[in-house]
């Protein structure tokens, strides 16, 4: 119940400010206007078109990022040579702001779906990569030594020791990466998009429709929260065996 206190308080303050005229409607639409706009978009089908386009971009970008992070993270985490060769460059690329990639991606990939998915993948990649490398480096050496003593093959050692030991951190990285994917989606859908939640946001800004802008913002928040909650449930299912402190 406590989780609803702050959202309800914000909603009450928003409603009071708009109803009293303290904030003008052209500056901030009322909750009623936002709900009406949401229903209109749903009935016209535009909501499902834009929502579906954004979910598809995030899903594809996240899948590509996860695959690349698993490959590169395993190499860097498992080999000192690979770490010296790859990690400094990747850490430098990681420091580049998301919007700095937009002009270069436009020049390389144009304004199609490939450019948008690539930008989302860049945003999701680094949290997963960093978490995986940290997880591999944090594996207790004694576990590996015990596995070796018991005659485990290299493949069995990876499957029965390294993967379970790194899985908790990998899933945390994947959860953060999925949230980052939604953040990078906003920049991605500024690349001349004709659909998606970012397009809805831009369209509202260009037409001075604060109700449309707020619908897009609330949908971004809802999608991000649902994604994060789904990843938490996956974590509980896959790493429920860990002995951790539960708040």
pLDDT value at residue 247: 44
Q: Which residues of the chain have pLDDT under 70?
A: 1-2, 154, 158, 191-192, 240-247
Cα dist from 36 to 47, 156, 209, 214, 229, whole Å: 13, 57, 13, 12, 27
The Cα–Cα gap between 169 and 179 comes to: 16
Domains of the chain: 45-238 (1.10.3720.10)
DSSP, res 111: T
Matching residue, tokens 């708040």: 247
- Separation between Cα atoms, residue 243 and residue 76, nearest integer Å: 28
Q: What pLDDT score was predicted for residue 157?
A: 73
Q: Does the pTM of the predicted model rise above 0.75? A: yes
The CA radius of gyration of the chain, in Å to the nearest whole number, is: 22
- pLDDT at site 246: 53
Give me the sign of the Cα torsion angle 81, 84, 85, 91: positive
The whole-number pLDDT of residue 226 equals: 92
Output the pLDDT for position 67.
93
230: its two tokens: 């789904």
Structure tokens at 24: 């003008």
Q: Which of 118, 125, 91, 111 is nearest to 185 (CA)?
A: 118
User: For residue 209, which of 63, 4, 84, 38 has the smallest C-alpha distance?
Assistant: 38
Q: Where are the alpha helices (DSSP H) in the chain?
A: 5-19, 31-44, 46-78, 80-94, 101-109, 113-137, 141-149, 154-157, 163-188, 197-206, 210-238
| Cβ-based burial of 217 (10 A; exposed 0-12, middle 13-18, buried ≥19) | middle
Residues 117 and 57 sit within 8 Å (Cβ to Cβ):
yes
Question: Residue 102 in contact with residue 119, Cβ under 8 Å?
Answer: yes
- The C-alpha atoms of residue 73 and residue 131 are separated, in whole angstroms, by 8
């Amino acid at each position: 119940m406590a989780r609803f206190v702050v959202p309800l308080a914000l909603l009450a303050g928003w409603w009071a400010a708009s109803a009293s005229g303290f904030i003008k409607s052209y500056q901030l639409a009322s909750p009623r206007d936002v709900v009406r706009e949401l229903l209109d978009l749903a009935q016209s089908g535009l909501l499902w078109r834009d929502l579906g386009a954004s979910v598809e971009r995030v899903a594809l970008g996240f899948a590509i990022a996860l695959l690349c992070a698993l490959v590169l993270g395993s190499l860097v985490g498992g080999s000192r040579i690979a770490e010296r060769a790859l990690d400094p460059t990747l850490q430098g690329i990681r420091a580049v702001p998301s919007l700095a990639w937009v002009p270069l991606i436009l020049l390389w990939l144009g304004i199609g779906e490939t450019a948008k998915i690539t930008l989302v993948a860049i945003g999701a990649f680094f949290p997963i990569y960093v978490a995986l490398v940290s997880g591999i480096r944090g594996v207790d050496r004694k576990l590996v030594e015990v596995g070796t003593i018991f005659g485990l093959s290299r493949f069995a050692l990876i499957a029965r020791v390294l993967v379970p030991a790194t899985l908790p951190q990998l899933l945390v990285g994947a959860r953060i990466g999925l949230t980052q994917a939604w953040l990078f989606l906003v920049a991605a859908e500024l690349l001349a998009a004709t659909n998606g939640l970012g397009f809805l946001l831009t369209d509202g800004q260009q037409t001075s429709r604060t109700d449309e802008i707020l619908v897009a913002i609330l949908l971004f928040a809802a999608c991000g929260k649902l994604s994060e909650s789904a990843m938490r449930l996956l974590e509980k299912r896959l790493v429920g065996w860990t002995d951790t402190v539960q708040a």
